[in-house]
Amino acid sequence: MIDFLRGLVAHLETEYIVLDVQGVGYRVFTPNPYAFAAKEEAITVYIHHHVREDAILLYGFETREEQSLFRKLLEVSGIGPRVALGILAGGRPDAVVAAIHQENLAFLTKLPGIGKKTAQRMVLDLKDKLSGFISDEGLLAVAGLSPIGAKAGGDAQGAGTAWEEAREALGSLGYTDAELDRAWHGLQSSVTAEETVDSLMKRALQQLFKG
């Protein structure tokens, strides 16, 4: 079984990348193929090698964390590889795991392909299997908050409160929780305690426009 591949990104589509590994092109389905768009050097993609009667498919991830959570999701009745991939496309691993730990069905049902019954099965099947998987930061992420700490400096609570207000305003524009989680993930490391709601909204919109 293939565990990872290392090579150059030769081609991108909306659902997959083609990874050139020593002259052989591997089609790898990923949560966000465009995350690999700017990669000009050889990269490592962590693989789940899925074999079924009519196809052999490769699912790839930027981190071991994503690979591990993908495999855990496949243990849930009603979740196949495509749905599991959609979950990881819709929410960061730490936010998804936090939602499962907190039995946050409202968050889980906003993920692609997840209805209330499947969300309940995710909690029932996985809550006790994800011990040690999530950090304290991840437990806060599902609420749209994250400790700023040493990276941001100053009063972390102030920045967190500003993001709460910015998140609510962006939500009223039609952005989903999963989209806003991804935006926060992209900007949180550079957030300072002096950030205003307006500046956070502008920066989050830049992240959202990037996809």
Q: Among the listed ranges 78-82, 98-102, 185-189, which one has the minimum average pLDDT value?
A: 185-189
Burial state string for 52-66 with b = 16 or more CB within 10 A and e = fewer than 16: eeeeeebbbbbeebb
Does residue 1 register a pLDDT over 90?
Answer: no
Query: Which pTM does this prediction carry?
Result: 0.65
Can you read off the two tokens belonging to residue 75? 């243990």
Q: What is the pLDDT of residues 130-152, one digit of tens each?
A: 866 655 455 444 444 343 333 33
Choose between 46 and 92: higher pLDDT: 46
Report the alpha-carbon distance of residue 124 to residue 128 in Å, rounded. 8
Topology match between the domains 4-62 and 65-129: no
Residues 6+ apart with CB under 8 A from 127: 100, 101, 103
Q: Are residues 121 and 109 in contact, defined by beta-carbon separation less than 8 angstroms?
A: no
Q: Domain residues of the chain, as ranges? A: 4-62, 65-129, 144-210
Q: What is the pLDDT of residues 55-73, one digit of tens each?
A: 899 999 999 989 999 999 9
Can you read off the two tokens belonging to residue 57? 């498919």
CATH superfamily placement of domain 65-129:
5' to 3' exonuclease, C-terminal subdomain (1.10.150.20)
- For the residues 105-112, what does the mean pLDDT come to? 87
CATH code of the region 4-62: 2.40.50.140
